Amino acid sequence: MKLKTIHIRNFRCFKDEVSIEFDNITTIIGKNDIGKSTILEALEIFFNNDTVKIEPNDASISSSLKQVTITCDFIDIPPVVTLDSGSETSLSNEYLLYSDNLLRVKKVFDCGKSKPSSEVYIVANHPTAKGYDNLLELKEKDLQKIIKDNALDVTLKGNPKMRAAIWNACSDLNFSIVEIPVNKTKEDAKAIWDKIDSYLPIFALFQSDRSSHDSDGEVQNPMKAAIAEAISEAQKEIEDIQEKVRAKALDIANQTHKALEEIDSSLAGKITPSFTSPTASKWGGLFSISMETDEGIALNKRGSGVRRMILVSFFKAEAERKITSSNKKSIIYAIEEPETAQHPNNQRILIKSFLDLSQNPQCQVILTTHSPELAKELPVDSIRFVDRDNDDNPAIKKGDDVLLEVANTLGVFADKRIQALVCVEGPTDVIALNNFCRCLREKDPSIIDIENDERIALIPLGGSILKQWVELHYLRKLNCPEIHIYDNDVATYQHTIDAVNSRGDGSWGTLTKKREIENYLHTDAIKEIYAVDIDTNLDEVPKLFGKAYSTSRGLDGNLKDNTSKKYLCKVFNEAMNYDRLMERDTTGEINSWFEKIKSILH
């Protein structure tokens, strides 16, 4: 599952309900003390209530109410789940979804108590007809009784099948959005919640101001996240162990109970053996990892930069590991101000690692930042701006309308030395052009250096980062000449190129002669990096590569095109050279692009 939205009500500065949507990577930006950390801590309380715990004073001081509500929506619902009695079913068949492919879980914390308690609800479009609204609470024998009383034609085994038969027998289930309590009601409903909870993503929070112990904060949290993920991967083995222990323990308990019946039958009649399995959090608490330095200096005595370096290393390693991992358990990394105590070079490593992680379908990354250097390198569609409305209440904004406000808040400005905008389709095209330029300059240094020439801004029109959006927004107002280079795989692109060429302001556009930018890669270059043979003369090179790479690595399914394009960027960066480029571009097409760019500079 993946986190889609969080709804927060009456939690600290958020008196009225606010909602924030999440993508594969989400960047929360705003001034100090505006509520950025509050959002991350609300998520931590919802998922773990560990690194940050709910406290009595967490209820908004602007409200007389003491109930804090944190609700999360999840998508990518697994098609098959096991909820009770070991039988497979689906959340849809059990009427536990809020809408198509969306699970909504609501947690209410009573902060009127010295130790706040919590209630958990599944908010779902569920049957409300009398006698059909509580089937999830019923034990197997209760369901069997209903089946027998109504003479329904279904086997008396498997709770999901019996519930389905009972619901199907009703002419009008009277569906309505209801809150189904699942954590403190009858035993079977709680067991169902425990199962649903195991399907939710792992959430790992990394705070910017944690205490300096080698078993805490930046040092231990990555390791805790690794332990949690390892436990989730071993869930089947853990369940087998728990079942073996349960069977043995109940056998002994039942023998003891039988002996008690012989001694005092009236007392035995009041006692029933019961077994409770440990929760996932208790399994996680059994393990820990510490970090030791070769010099014998305790890690908590080292500088904050060294400790945060472990954080950098963790995310870099995770990004690389996730590429080949077959684990289907989702994980959310929430990192508060990752730029803290980091050299700019390490910030760039972090950004790349975050972006790499976000490409994995099992990962989501959530960041908060004050740093213009970090923010300007992040995708514009990832940005959520926390501000205050006209009534001074916190508000969360997204979209193009707020990007200029974000840029001004952080101090991200356009470079006024720029004389030309080179517009391409996406980020992989930027990497390709930079490396084509590098290859040509191996033999001819007079070729314009588009990567380092301060007069040129290379802009991906799809999936741009904040810095590029600001430059495009600012420079277009100045009617700066533009060069547009698009792939030749979309028929409508020719109309855009014609419009650019008709402007009369020095702008120029062209379609590539080959179908896609990846068609300019040399077969030997791909083979050198990934040891797979791809004929780059064929159409849909990313798709062909994704299939070949997945087959060679024994992956479950093929890489998606966007992921394949990202992998092929490594080929552009590391294996393309002048000779290989000349073999792929025998007409000098690419060189003509750079000559045109050079001609409009002054």
Residue 324 placed within a domain: yes
- Give pLDDT, residue 372: 77
- Give pLDDT, residue 44: 94
User: What is the distance between the alpha carbons of residues 386 and 377, in angstroms, rounded to a whole number?
Assistant: 19
Domain count within the chain: 4
- Give pLDDT, residue 213: 42
User: What is the distance between the alpha carbons of residues 216 and 20, in angstroms, rounded to a whole number?
Assistant: 29
Contact of 275 with 249, CB cutoff 8 Å: yes
403 and 383 assigned to the same domain: yes
- Give pLDDT, residue 347: 77
- Give pLDDT, residue 460: 84
User: What is the distance between the alpha carbons of residues 299 and 306, in angstroms, rounded to a whole number?
Assistant: 8
pTM: 0.72
Q: Mean pLDDT per 10-residue run, the chain (602 residues)? A: 96 94 93 89 93 92 94 94 83 94 97 94 96 90 92 89 94 95 74 87 76 43 67 78 83 77 70 69 68 60 65 64 61 85 75 82 88 80 88 84 78 77 90 96 95 89 70 71 91 89 90 96 97 96 95 87 91 96 97 94 86
Virtual CA dihedral for 495, 496, 499, 505, nearest 10 degrees? -160
Residue 94 placed within a domain: yes
User: What is the distance between the alpha carbons of residues 205 and 480, in angstroms, rounded to a whole number?
Assistant: 43
26 and 107 assigned to the same domain: yes
Strand 394-397 relative to strand 363-369, pairing: unpaired
350 and 267 assigned to the same domain: no
CA 102 from centroid of its chain's CA atoms: 16
393 and 430 assigned to the same domain: no
- Give pLDDT, residue 194: 85
140 and 13 assigned to the same domain: yes
394 and 334 assigned to the same domain: yes
- Give pLDDT, residue 366: 94
45 and 162 assigned to the same domain: yes
194 and 83 assigned to the same domain: yes
Q: Which domain does 248 fall in, by range?
A: 236-284
Q: Among 220, 255, 284, give the residue marking a domain's end.
A: 284
Residue 230 placed within a domain: no
368 and 432 assigned to the same domain: no
